[in-house]
A = this chain, B = another copy of it.
Amino acid sequence: MRPRPLPPVLLFGLVPVGAWFIVRPFLDPIPPLPALYTSFGFSVFALLATLYIIPAVGPAFIKANLKGIDLLKTDKTPVPESQGLVAAAVYILLLILFIPFAFSDSIATFANAKKKPEGISVIEFPHYQLSVYLSSLLSLLIATMLGFLDDVFDIRWRHKIPIPIIASIPLLMVYYAERGNTDVVVPIPLRFIFGNLVNLGPLYYVYMSLLSTFATNSFNILAGINGAEVSQALIIALSVILNDLLYLPWPLDFRIPLHLLGYRADVEVGGVYSAGMAYGSRELVERHLFSLYFMLPLVAVCIGFMYHNWYPARAFPGDTLCYVTGMAFAVVGIQAHFSKTLLLFFIPQIFNFLLSCPQLFGLVPCPRHRVPRFDHNTNLLHPSKTLFLKPPSQLTTFVLGTMSTLGLTELTRHPTNGTILEANNLTILNWFLLRLGPMNEKRLVQVLMCSQVAGSLLAFTVRYGLAGLVYDGNRR
Protein backbone atom coordinates (compact mmCIF):
# COMPACT_ATOMS: atom_id res chain seq x y z
CA MET A 1 0.00 0.00 0.00
CA ARG A 2 1.47 3.34 -0.99
CA PRO A 3 1.65 6.18 1.51
CA ARG A 4 -1.00 8.85 1.34
CA PRO A 5 0.28 11.61 -0.97
CA LEU A 6 1.33 14.95 0.46
CA PRO A 7 0.66 18.16 -1.45
CA PRO A 8 3.97 20.05 -1.78
CA VAL A 9 2.00 23.29 -1.60
CA LEU A 10 1.53 22.47 2.10
CA LEU A 11 5.27 22.55 2.64
CA PHE A 12 5.76 25.78 0.75
CA GLY A 13 2.75 27.41 2.36
CA LEU A 14 3.42 26.48 5.98
CA VAL A 15 7.19 27.04 6.18
CA PRO A 16 6.95 30.85 6.04
CA VAL A 17 4.04 30.82 8.52
CA GLY A 18 6.05 28.80 11.05
CA ALA A 19 9.15 30.89 10.46
CA TRP A 20 7.24 34.13 11.01
CA PHE A 21 5.94 32.96 14.40
CA ILE A 22 9.45 31.98 15.49
CA VAL A 23 10.92 35.31 14.40
CA ARG A 24 8.05 37.44 15.72
CA PRO A 25 9.28 37.69 19.38
CA PHE A 26 12.43 39.43 18.14
CA LEU A 27 10.52 42.16 16.30
CA ASP A 28 9.24 45.40 17.76
CA PRO A 29 6.79 45.72 19.45
CA ILE A 30 7.54 42.67 21.61
CA PRO A 31 4.33 40.68 22.04
CA PRO A 32 3.15 40.14 25.63
CA LEU A 33 3.83 36.37 25.55
CA PRO A 34 6.76 36.05 23.15
CA ALA A 35 7.59 32.39 23.82
CA LEU A 36 4.04 31.43 22.93
CA TYR A 37 4.63 32.72 19.40
CA THR A 38 7.75 30.60 19.18
CA SER A 39 5.88 27.60 20.49
CA PHE A 40 3.25 28.04 17.82
CA GLY A 41 5.90 28.42 15.13
CA PHE A 42 7.66 25.28 16.33
CA SER A 43 4.35 23.44 16.25
CA VAL A 44 3.91 24.30 12.58
CA PHE A 45 7.29 22.71 11.89
CA ALA A 46 6.37 19.74 14.09
CA LEU A 47 3.32 19.20 11.90
CA LEU A 48 5.36 19.35 8.71
CA ALA A 49 8.09 17.09 10.10
CA THR A 50 5.57 14.45 11.19
CA LEU A 51 3.70 14.62 7.89
CA TYR A 52 6.83 14.12 5.81
CA ILE A 53 8.97 11.82 7.99
CA ILE A 54 6.33 9.15 8.73
CA PRO A 55 5.94 7.93 5.12
CA ALA A 56 9.68 8.39 4.50
CA VAL A 57 10.75 6.00 7.26
CA GLY A 58 7.89 3.51 6.73
CA PRO A 59 9.99 1.04 4.71
CA ALA A 60 12.74 1.10 7.37
CA PHE A 61 10.13 0.16 10.00
CA ILE A 62 8.88 -2.73 7.89
CA LYS A 63 12.45 -3.88 7.29
CA ALA A 64 13.10 -3.84 11.04
CA ASN A 65 10.07 -6.09 11.48
CA LEU A 66 8.01 -3.29 13.03
CA LYS A 67 4.91 -4.03 11.00
CA GLY A 68 1.38 -5.23 11.49
CA ILE A 69 -1.50 -6.61 9.49
CA ASP A 70 -4.69 -4.58 9.71
CA LEU A 71 -7.20 -6.97 11.30
CA LEU A 72 -10.18 -5.07 10.00
CA LYS A 73 -9.28 -4.99 6.29
CA THR A 74 -9.38 -7.41 3.42
CA ASP A 75 -6.02 -6.14 2.19
CA LYS A 76 -3.30 -7.99 4.10
CA THR A 77 -0.29 -5.86 3.10
CA PRO A 78 1.81 -5.20 6.21
CA VAL A 79 1.55 -1.64 7.55
CA PRO A 80 4.47 0.00 9.45
CA GLU A 81 3.81 -0.34 13.18
CA SER A 82 5.08 1.80 16.11
CA GLN A 83 5.26 4.89 13.96
CA GLY A 84 4.11 6.87 16.97
CA LEU A 85 7.84 6.83 17.60
CA VAL A 86 8.30 9.39 14.84
CA ALA A 87 5.64 11.65 16.31
CA ALA A 88 7.16 11.26 19.77
CA ALA A 89 10.70 11.97 18.54
CA VAL A 90 9.64 15.10 16.65
CA TYR A 91 7.62 16.26 19.64
CA ILE A 92 10.37 15.81 22.21
CA LEU A 93 13.13 17.17 20.00
CA LEU A 94 11.18 20.37 19.38
CA LEU A 95 10.40 20.72 23.08
CA ILE A 96 14.15 20.51 23.75
CA LEU A 97 14.99 23.05 21.06
CA PHE A 98 12.36 25.32 22.61
CA ILE A 99 14.25 25.56 25.93
CA PRO A 100 16.28 28.70 25.11
CA PHE A 101 13.18 30.53 23.89
CA ALA A 102 11.25 29.93 27.09
CA PHE A 103 14.03 30.07 29.66
CA SER A 104 16.96 31.98 28.27
CA ASP A 105 18.11 35.07 30.12
CA SER A 106 19.50 36.68 27.04
CA ILE A 107 16.21 36.57 25.16
CA ALA A 108 14.44 37.95 28.22
CA THR A 109 17.03 40.71 28.51
CA PHE A 110 16.53 41.59 24.88
CA ALA A 111 12.81 41.80 25.46
CA ASN A 112 13.06 43.75 28.69
CA ALA A 113 15.24 46.39 27.07
CA LYS A 114 12.25 47.37 24.95
CA LYS A 115 9.24 49.16 26.26
CA LYS A 116 7.02 46.83 28.25
CA PRO A 117 3.47 46.42 27.11
CA GLU A 118 0.72 47.01 29.61
CA GLY A 119 -0.99 44.30 31.61
CA ILE A 120 0.46 40.90 32.43
CA SER A 121 3.32 39.98 30.15
CA VAL A 122 5.21 36.80 30.83
CA ILE A 123 8.45 37.54 29.05
CA GLU A 124 10.82 36.20 31.62
CA PHE A 125 9.81 32.73 32.61
CA PRO A 126 10.72 31.90 36.22
CA HIS A 127 13.99 30.07 36.30
CA TYR A 128 13.04 27.35 38.76
CA GLN A 129 10.54 26.25 36.15
CA LEU A 130 13.42 25.01 34.03
CA SER A 131 13.98 21.95 36.19
CA VAL A 132 10.25 21.26 36.19
CA TYR A 133 10.26 21.52 32.40
CA LEU A 134 13.28 19.23 32.12
CA SER A 135 11.80 16.63 34.43
CA SER A 136 8.69 16.64 32.26
CA LEU A 137 10.83 16.03 29.20
CA LEU A 138 12.58 13.16 30.98
CA SER A 139 9.23 11.58 31.78
CA LEU A 140 8.05 11.97 28.19
CA LEU A 141 11.26 10.46 26.89
CA ILE A 142 11.07 7.50 29.26
CA ALA A 143 7.47 6.97 28.22
CA THR A 144 8.55 6.96 24.57
CA MET A 145 11.39 4.57 25.29
CA LEU A 146 9.17 2.19 27.25
CA GLY A 147 6.45 2.36 24.65
CA PHE A 148 8.92 1.45 21.97
CA LEU A 149 10.43 -1.36 24.07
CA ASP A 150 6.90 -2.60 24.58
CA ASP A 151 6.44 -2.67 20.79
CA VAL A 152 9.78 -4.42 20.21
CA PHE A 153 9.55 -6.95 23.03
CA ASP A 154 5.75 -7.26 22.95
CA ILE A 155 5.22 -7.15 26.70
CA ARG A 156 2.08 -8.86 28.00
CA TRP A 157 -0.63 -6.36 28.85
CA ARG A 158 -0.93 -7.36 32.49
CA HIS A 159 2.81 -6.70 32.93
CA LYS A 160 2.74 -3.37 31.24
CA ILE A 161 0.07 -1.64 33.29
CA PRO A 162 2.59 -0.37 35.89
CA ILE A 163 5.16 0.73 33.27
CA PRO A 164 3.99 4.39 33.24
CA ILE A 165 4.86 4.58 36.93
CA ILE A 166 8.52 4.25 35.94
CA ALA A 167 8.09 7.08 33.47
CA SER A 168 6.58 9.30 36.14
CA ILE A 169 9.57 8.88 38.49
CA PRO A 170 11.45 11.97 37.20
CA LEU A 171 8.33 14.06 37.80
CA LEU A 172 8.01 12.74 41.34
CA MET A 173 11.71 13.10 42.16
CA VAL A 174 11.95 16.69 40.99
CA TYR A 175 8.65 17.55 42.61
CA TYR A 176 10.07 16.23 45.86
CA ALA A 177 13.47 17.90 45.46
CA GLU A 178 11.76 21.22 44.69
CA ARG A 179 9.67 20.77 47.83
CA GLY A 180 6.51 20.69 45.73
CA ASN A 181 3.19 21.48 47.34
CA THR A 182 1.23 18.42 48.45
CA ASP A 183 -1.78 20.37 49.71
CA VAL A 184 -5.12 20.02 48.01
CA VAL A 185 -8.14 22.30 48.30
CA VAL A 186 -11.04 20.58 49.99
CA PRO A 187 -14.49 20.85 48.35
CA ILE A 188 -16.82 23.12 50.36
CA PRO A 189 -19.20 20.36 51.57
CA LEU A 190 -16.29 18.47 53.18
CA ARG A 191 -14.55 21.44 54.79
CA PHE A 192 -16.27 20.99 58.11
CA ILE A 193 -14.27 17.74 58.43
CA PHE A 194 -10.92 18.50 56.77
CA GLY A 195 -10.65 22.29 56.77
CA ASN A 196 -9.82 24.39 53.70
CA LEU A 197 -6.64 22.61 52.72
CA VAL A 198 -5.50 19.07 53.39
CA ASN A 199 -1.91 17.94 53.07
CA LEU A 200 -1.88 14.59 51.28
CA GLY A 201 1.88 14.13 51.85
CA PRO A 202 3.13 10.87 50.30
CA LEU A 203 -0.38 10.13 49.02
CA TYR A 204 0.03 13.07 46.64
CA TYR A 205 2.91 11.20 44.98
CA VAL A 206 0.78 8.09 44.71
CA TYR A 207 -1.93 10.22 43.13
CA MET A 208 0.54 11.66 40.61
CA SER A 209 1.82 8.26 39.52
CA LEU A 210 -1.68 6.84 39.32
CA LEU A 211 -2.68 9.76 37.10
CA SER A 212 0.17 8.92 34.68
CA THR A 213 -0.79 5.26 34.73
CA PHE A 214 -4.42 6.02 34.07
CA ALA A 215 -3.83 8.58 31.32
CA THR A 216 -1.48 6.21 29.51
CA ASN A 217 -3.35 2.95 29.84
CA SER A 218 -6.76 4.44 29.20
CA PHE A 219 -5.62 5.20 25.64
CA ASN A 220 -4.03 1.81 25.35
CA ILE A 221 -7.28 -0.03 26.08
CA LEU A 222 -9.37 2.21 23.80
CA ALA A 223 -7.57 1.23 20.62
CA GLY A 224 -7.70 -1.11 17.69
CA ILE A 225 -9.40 0.80 14.91
CA ASN A 226 -7.70 3.20 12.53
CA GLY A 227 -7.31 6.64 14.08
CA ALA A 228 -8.72 5.71 17.50
CA GLU A 229 -5.64 6.41 19.65
CA VAL A 230 -4.54 9.58 17.95
CA SER A 231 -7.99 11.14 17.65
CA GLN A 232 -8.59 10.79 21.39
CA ALA A 233 -5.27 12.46 22.11
CA LEU A 234 -5.97 15.20 19.60
CA ILE A 235 -9.37 16.13 21.00
CA ILE A 236 -8.18 16.06 24.61
CA ALA A 237 -5.18 18.23 23.68
CA LEU A 238 -7.45 20.73 21.95
CA SER A 239 -9.70 20.80 25.01
CA VAL A 240 -6.72 21.45 27.28
CA ILE A 241 -5.60 24.25 24.97
CA LEU A 242 -9.05 25.82 25.03
CA ASN A 243 -9.01 25.66 28.81
CA ASP A 244 -5.51 27.19 28.94
CA LEU A 245 -6.52 30.04 26.66
CA LEU A 246 -9.18 31.12 29.17
CA TYR A 247 -6.35 32.00 31.58
CA LEU A 248 -4.18 34.07 29.27
CA PRO A 249 -4.14 37.84 29.16
CA TRP A 250 -6.16 38.93 26.16
CA PRO A 251 -6.44 42.36 24.63
CA LEU A 252 -10.20 42.19 25.12
CA ASP A 253 -12.40 41.67 28.12
CA PHE A 254 -14.46 38.56 28.04
CA ARG A 255 -16.66 36.63 30.38
CA ILE A 256 -18.29 33.26 30.17
CA PRO A 257 -22.05 33.90 30.07
CA LEU A 258 -22.67 31.84 33.18
CA HIS A 259 -25.37 34.19 34.41
CA LEU A 260 -27.54 32.32 31.95
CA LEU A 261 -27.01 29.28 34.15
CA GLY A 262 -27.69 31.27 37.30
CA TYR A 263 -24.12 31.74 38.62
CA ARG A 264 -22.16 34.90 38.92
CA ALA A 265 -19.79 35.05 41.88
CA ASP A 266 -16.50 33.68 40.56
CA VAL A 267 -16.71 34.32 36.87
CA GLU A 268 -15.79 37.99 36.80
CA VAL A 269 -13.03 37.75 34.26
CA GLY A 270 -10.84 40.30 32.55
CA GLY A 271 -10.56 43.48 34.57
CA VAL A 272 -7.47 45.71 34.53
CA TYR A 273 -5.14 42.97 33.38
CA SER A 274 -7.47 41.52 30.75
CA ALA A 275 -6.17 38.24 32.09
CA GLY A 276 -9.08 35.98 31.37
CA MET A 277 -9.87 33.50 34.13
CA ALA A 278 -6.49 34.11 35.78
CA TYR A 279 -7.94 37.06 37.77
CA GLY A 280 -4.63 38.89 37.33
CA SER A 281 -2.62 36.04 38.88
CA ARG A 282 0.76 35.81 37.21
CA GLU A 283 1.23 32.31 38.58
CA LEU A 284 -1.92 31.00 36.93
CA VAL A 285 -0.88 32.57 33.63
CA GLU A 286 2.53 30.90 33.90
CA ARG A 287 1.06 27.51 34.67
CA HIS A 288 -1.25 27.62 31.70
CA LEU A 289 1.53 28.87 29.47
CA PHE A 290 3.55 25.86 30.59
CA SER A 291 0.66 23.66 29.60
CA LEU A 292 0.34 25.37 26.20
CA TYR A 293 4.04 24.84 25.50
CA PHE A 294 3.43 21.10 25.77
CA MET A 295 0.01 20.97 24.13
CA LEU A 296 0.53 23.05 20.98
CA PRO A 297 3.26 20.78 19.52
CA LEU A 298 1.29 17.74 20.70
CA VAL A 299 -1.70 18.83 18.64
CA ALA A 300 0.64 19.37 15.70
CA VAL A 301 2.22 15.91 15.80
CA CYS A 302 -1.20 14.33 16.38
CA ILE A 303 -2.63 16.00 13.26
CA GLY A 304 0.45 14.96 11.28
CA PHE A 305 0.20 11.39 12.50
CA MET A 306 -3.56 11.23 12.01
CA TYR A 307 -3.16 12.13 8.35
CA HIS A 308 -1.37 8.81 7.80
CA ASN A 309 -3.30 6.84 10.42
CA TRP A 310 -6.75 7.81 9.10
CA TYR A 311 -8.90 5.08 7.54
CA PRO A 312 -7.52 3.15 5.69
CA ALA A 313 -4.37 3.47 7.81
CA ARG A 314 -0.92 3.68 6.19
CA ALA A 315 0.79 3.83 9.57
CA PHE A 316 0.05 2.29 12.97
CA PRO A 317 0.77 4.15 16.20
CA GLY A 318 2.02 1.23 18.30
CA ASP A 319 2.06 1.57 22.05
CA THR A 320 4.60 4.36 21.69
CA LEU A 321 1.98 6.92 20.76
CA CYS A 322 -0.36 5.96 23.61
CA TYR A 323 2.47 6.16 26.13
CA VAL A 324 3.81 9.50 25.02
CA THR A 325 0.45 11.23 24.64
CA GLY A 326 -0.86 9.83 27.92
CA MET A 327 2.29 10.98 29.67
CA ALA A 328 2.05 14.43 28.09
CA PHE A 329 -1.41 14.89 29.60
CA ALA A 330 -0.27 13.61 32.97
CA VAL A 331 2.67 16.04 32.86
CA VAL A 332 0.58 19.13 32.21
CA GLY A 333 -2.13 18.07 34.64
CA ILE A 334 0.41 17.62 37.42
CA GLN A 335 2.83 20.44 36.69
CA ALA A 336 0.23 23.05 35.82
CA HIS A 337 -2.02 21.91 38.68
CA PHE A 338 -5.25 21.16 36.87
CA SER A 339 -5.38 17.41 37.18
CA LYS A 340 -9.05 17.39 38.22
CA THR A 341 -10.05 19.46 35.18
CA LEU A 342 -7.90 17.19 33.04
CA LEU A 343 -9.68 14.07 34.27
CA LEU A 344 -12.95 15.64 33.17
CA PHE A 345 -11.67 15.52 29.59
CA PHE A 346 -11.20 11.76 29.93
CA ILE A 347 -14.92 10.97 30.30
CA PRO A 348 -15.05 8.50 27.35
CA GLN A 349 -11.84 6.85 28.59
CA ILE A 350 -13.19 6.57 32.12
CA PHE A 351 -16.40 5.07 30.78
CA ASN A 352 -14.40 2.61 28.67
CA PHE A 353 -12.21 1.72 31.65
CA LEU A 354 -15.20 1.08 33.94
CA LEU A 355 -16.86 -0.93 31.17
CA SER A 356 -13.66 -2.98 30.73
CA CYS A 357 -13.17 -3.69 34.42
CA PRO A 358 -14.86 -7.13 34.42
CA GLN A 359 -12.47 -8.23 31.67
CA LEU A 360 -9.39 -6.46 33.07
CA PHE A 361 -9.86 -8.01 36.50
CA GLY A 362 -10.50 -11.51 35.22
CA LEU A 363 -14.25 -11.87 35.89
CA VAL A 364 -14.89 -12.28 32.18
CA PRO A 365 -12.39 -13.99 29.81
CA CYS A 366 -10.26 -11.40 28.00
CA PRO A 367 -9.06 -12.39 24.50
CA ARG A 368 -5.84 -10.84 23.14
CA HIS A 369 -7.76 -8.54 20.81
CA ARG A 370 -11.09 -7.04 21.74
CA VAL A 371 -11.50 -5.06 18.51
CA PRO A 372 -14.87 -5.27 16.77
CA ARG A 373 -15.46 -8.14 14.35
CA PHE A 374 -15.02 -7.33 10.66
CA ASP A 375 -17.49 -8.66 8.12
CA HIS A 376 -15.62 -9.09 4.84
CA ASN A 377 -18.78 -9.16 2.75
CA THR A 378 -20.47 -6.02 3.97
CA ASN A 379 -17.31 -4.15 5.05
CA LEU A 380 -19.11 -3.43 8.33
CA LEU A 381 -17.96 -3.85 11.91
CA HIS A 382 -19.98 -5.86 14.43
CA PRO A 383 -19.50 -6.21 18.19
CA SER A 384 -16.94 -8.92 18.92
CA LYS A 385 -17.72 -11.64 21.45
CA THR A 386 -15.84 -13.30 24.25
CA LEU A 387 -16.51 -17.01 24.67
CA PHE A 388 -17.07 -18.74 28.02
CA LEU A 389 -15.25 -22.08 27.77
CA LYS A 390 -16.49 -23.03 31.22
CA PRO A 391 -19.70 -21.82 32.86
CA PRO A 392 -19.25 -18.37 34.47
CA SER A 393 -19.24 -17.94 38.23
CA GLN A 394 -22.27 -16.57 40.04
CA LEU A 395 -20.60 -13.16 40.45
CA THR A 396 -19.82 -12.98 36.73
CA THR A 397 -23.37 -13.97 35.85
CA PHE A 398 -24.71 -11.27 38.15
CA VAL A 399 -22.37 -8.55 36.83
CA LEU A 400 -23.00 -9.41 33.19
CA GLY A 401 -26.72 -9.71 33.83
CA THR A 402 -26.79 -6.22 35.32
CA MET A 403 -24.70 -4.82 32.46
CA SER A 404 -26.94 -6.48 29.93
CA THR A 405 -30.02 -4.96 31.59
CA LEU A 406 -28.34 -1.54 31.41
CA GLY A 407 -27.75 -2.11 27.70
CA LEU A 408 -23.96 -2.19 28.04
CA THR A 409 -23.42 -5.64 26.58
CA GLU A 410 -25.32 -8.39 24.83
CA LEU A 411 -25.35 -11.95 26.13
CA THR A 412 -25.92 -15.28 24.41
CA ARG A 413 -27.47 -17.69 26.89
CA HIS A 414 -27.89 -21.43 26.75
CA PRO A 415 -31.35 -22.06 25.32
CA THR A 416 -32.37 -24.43 28.13
CA ASN A 417 -30.53 -23.67 31.40
CA GLY A 418 -29.78 -20.00 30.74
CA THR A 419 -26.01 -20.07 31.46
CA ILE A 420 -24.07 -17.37 29.68
CA LEU A 421 -22.22 -18.76 26.65
CA GLU A 422 -20.98 -15.53 25.04
CA ALA A 423 -20.86 -11.85 25.82
CA ASN A 424 -19.91 -8.81 23.81
CA ASN A 425 -16.37 -7.68 24.59
CA LEU A 426 -16.69 -4.87 27.09
CA THR A 427 -15.29 -1.85 25.24
CA ILE A 428 -16.81 1.45 24.27
CA LEU A 429 -16.33 0.55 20.58
CA ASN A 430 -18.40 -2.62 20.88
CA TRP A 431 -20.93 -0.68 22.89
CA PHE A 432 -21.29 1.91 20.11
CA LEU A 433 -21.84 -0.93 17.63
CA LEU A 434 -24.38 -2.51 19.96
CA ARG A 435 -26.37 0.70 20.47
CA LEU A 436 -26.02 2.22 16.98
CA GLY A 437 -25.88 -0.94 14.90
CA PRO A 438 -23.11 -2.23 12.63
CA MET A 439 -21.16 0.47 10.78
CA ASN A 440 -17.92 0.73 8.87
CA GLU A 441 -14.61 1.49 10.55
CA LYS A 442 -14.41 5.10 9.42
CA ARG A 443 -17.88 5.85 10.78
CA LEU A 444 -17.02 4.15 14.08
CA VAL A 445 -13.98 6.33 14.65
CA GLN A 446 -16.10 9.38 13.82
CA VAL A 447 -18.62 8.28 16.46
CA LEU A 448 -15.74 7.89 18.92
CA MET A 449 -14.52 11.39 18.12
CA CYS A 450 -18.01 12.82 18.55
CA SER A 451 -18.28 11.17 21.95
CA GLN A 452 -14.91 12.68 22.87
CA VAL A 453 -16.07 16.16 21.81
CA ALA A 454 -19.33 15.69 23.70
CA GLY A 455 -17.30 14.60 26.74
CA SER A 456 -15.24 17.78 26.53
CA LEU A 457 -18.34 19.96 26.28
CA LEU A 458 -19.72 18.24 29.36
CA ALA A 459 -16.35 18.74 31.07
CA PHE A 460 -16.39 22.48 30.45
CA THR A 461 -19.94 22.71 31.75
CA VAL A 462 -19.01 20.85 34.91
CA ARG A 463 -15.77 22.78 35.41
CA TYR A 464 -17.11 26.29 34.92
CA GLY A 465 -20.78 25.74 35.55
CA LEU A 466 -21.01 23.32 38.44
CA ALA A 467 -17.63 23.54 40.16
CA GLY A 468 -18.76 26.75 41.83
CA LEU A 469 -21.08 24.60 43.92
CA VAL A 470 -18.25 22.71 45.60
CA TYR A 471 -15.24 25.08 45.25
CA ASP A 472 -14.89 28.78 45.87
CA GLY A 473 -12.39 31.11 44.16
CA ASN A 474 -9.52 29.53 46.10
CA ARG A 475 -8.54 27.21 43.28
CA ARG A 476 -5.22 25.55 42.61
A residues apposed to B, CB below 8 Å: 60, 63-66, 93, 96-97, 99-100, 103-106, 127-128, 130-131, 134-135, 137-138, 141-142, 144-145, 148, 152-154, 166, 169-170, 173-174, 176-179
Of all chain B residues, the one with the shortest Cβ separation from A155 is B60
Not counting A103-B177, A141-B141, a sample of 17 additional A-B residue pairs whose C-beta atoms are within 8 angstroms of each other reads A63-B153, A66-B152, A96-B138, A96-B170, A97-B169, A99-B174, A100-B177, A104-B177, A105-B177, A105-B179, A127-B128, A131-B134, A134-B134, A134-B174, A137-B138, A145-B148, A152-B152
Minimum CB–CB distance from A128 to chain B (whole Å) comes to 8
Of all chain B residues, the one with the shortest Cβ separation from A145 is B145
Residue contacts A-B, CB under 8 angstroms, 28 given: A60-B153, A63-B153, A64-B153, A93-B169, A96-B169, A96-B170, A97-B169, A97-B173, A99-B177, A100-B173, A100-B177, A104-B177, A105-B179, A106-B176, A130-B174, A130-B177, A130-B178, A131-B131, A134-B134, A134-B138, A134-B170, A134-B174, A137-B138, A137-B170, A141-B141, A141-B142, A141-B145, A144-B145
With A141-B145, A154-B64, A169-B93: A104-B176 Cβ-Cβ less than 8 Å: yes
CB pair A99–B173 under 8 Å, yes or no, is: yes
Residues in B with CB closer than 8 Å to A103 are 177
Residues in B with CB closer than 8 Å to A128 are 127
Q: Interface on chain A toward B: helix, strand, loop, or mixed SS?
A: helix
Q: In whole angstroms, what is the CA distance A141 to B148 when docked?
A: 14
The 6 closest A-B pairs by CB, nearest first: A134-B134, A99-B173, A103-B177, A131-B131, A130-B131, A104-B177
Q: In whole angstroms, what is the CA distance A1 to B106 when docked?
A: 58
Residues in B with CB closer than 8 Å to A106 are 176, 179
Partner among B127, B141, B152 whose Cβ is within 8 Å of the Cβ of A64: B152
Most B C-beta atoms less than 10 A away, residue of A66, A127, A177: A177
Most B C-beta atoms less than 10 A away, residue of A63, A65, A96: A96
Minimum CB–CB distance from A66 to chain B (whole Å) comes to 8
Copies per complex of this chain: 2
With A141-B141, A179-B106: A96-B152 Cβ-Cβ less than 8 Å: no
Minimum CB–CB distance from A54 to chain B (whole Å) comes to 15
Partner among B60, B65, B104 whose Cβ is within 8 Å of the Cβ of A65: B65
Residues in B with CB closer than 8 Å to A141 are 138, 141-142, 145
Minimum CB–CB distance from A476 to chain B (whole Å) comes to 21
Q: In whole angstroms, what is the CA distance A141 to B92 when docked?
A: 12
Residues in B with CB closer than 8 Å to A130 are 131, 174, 177-178
Q: In whole angstroms, what is the CA distance A127 to B66 when docked?
A: 43
Minimum CB–CB distance from A264 to chain B (whole Å) comes to 42
Q: In whole angstroms, what is the CA distance A385 to B67 when docked?
A: 39
Of all chain B residues, the one with the shortest Cβ separation from A61 is B153
Of all chain B residues, the one with the shortest Cβ separation from A146 is B89
Minimum CB–CB distance from A441 to chain B (whole Å) comes to 30
With A104-B177, A176-B100: A93-B166 Cβ-Cβ less than 8 Å: yes
Most B C-beta atoms less than 10 A away, residue of A100, A130, A144: A130
Residues in B with CB closer than 8 Å to A152 are 64, 66, 152
Of all chain B residues, the one with the shortest Cβ separation from A179 is B105
Q: In whole angstroms, what is the CA distance A193 to B327 when docked?
A: 53
Q: In whole angstroms, what is the CA distance A174 to B101 when docked?
A: 11
Minimum CB–CB distance from A247 to chain B (whole Å) comes to 24
Of all chain B residues, the one with the shortest Cβ separation from A125 is B177
Of all chain B residues, the one with the shortest Cβ separation from A137 is B138
Q: In whole angstroms, what is the CA distance A191 to B250 when docked?
A: 55
Q: In whole angstroms, what is the CA distance A173 to B130 when docked?
A: 11
Q: In whole angstroms, what is the CA distance A154 to B134 when docked?
A: 30
Of all chain B residues, the one with the shortest Cβ separation from A130 is B131
Minimum CB–CB distance from A248 to chain B (whole Å) comes to 23
Minimum CB–CB distance from A13 to chain B (whole Å) comes to 28
Q: In whole angstroms, what is the CA distance A179 to B103 when docked?
A: 10
Q: In whole angstroms, what is the CA distance A152 to B148 when docked?
A: 11
Minimum CB–CB distance from A151 to chain B (whole Å) comes to 10
Residues in B with CB closer than 8 Å to A134 are 131, 134-135, 138, 170, 174
Of all chain B residues, the one with the shortest Cβ separation from A170 is B96
Q: In whole angstroms, what is the CA distance A326 to B145 when docked?
A: 19
Minimum CB–CB distance from A157 to chain B (whole Å) comes to 16
Minimum CB–CB distance from A35 to chain B (whole Å) comes to 12
